[in-house]
Amino acid sequence: EDKVVQSPLSLVVHEGDTVTLNCSYEVTNFRSLLWYKQEKKAPTFLFMLTSSGIEKKSGRLSSILDKKELFSILNITATQTGDSAVYLCAGVTNAGGTSYGKLTFGQGTILTVHP
């Protein structure tokens, strides 16, 4: 059975701090690892990672994948109160060809950023 585990489950920091969120996965026929941010609505896409060691970056957020050790991290530097959200990661299986298969989500990390 595929499994994705995130840690920590919750994190409280102050504005300006740097945080690292962890995602470990056991996914059969692994295709990619996805990161999302969820506020009080539907998740919004952050990153897709398919190759080890290649950092994806968007503003203060960055993410990297280690396919040997089966984990990914999401870094947020200089946190702001607007970064407060649940951060989700998901492992994607390859259904053959170029098609996506099953997605397995972790339980999420609740990040709270205080002013």
Partner 1 sequence: EAQVTQNPRYLITVTGKKLTVTCSQNMNHEYMSWYRQDPGLGLRQIYYSMNVEVTDKGDVPEGYKVSRKEKRNFPLILESPSPNQTSLYFCASIKVGDADTQYFGPGTRLTVL
Contact 94, 25 (CB under 8 A): no
Contact 97, 82 (CB under 8 A): no
As measured in angstroms, the least distance from the Cβ of 108 to partner 1 is 5
Of 86-115, binders to partner 1 (CB under 8 A) are: 88, 90, 92, 95, 98-108
Residue 69 found at the interface with partner 1 (CB under 8 A): no
Residue 67 found at the interface with partner 1 (CB under 8 A): no
Strand 109-114 to 10-14 pairing: parallel
Residue 59 found at the interface with partner 1 (CB under 8 A): no
Residue 42 found at the interface with partner 1 (CB under 8 A): yes
Give the whole-angstrom CA distance, residue 110 versus residue 43.
13
As measured in angstroms, the least distance from the Cβ of 115 to partner 1 is 27
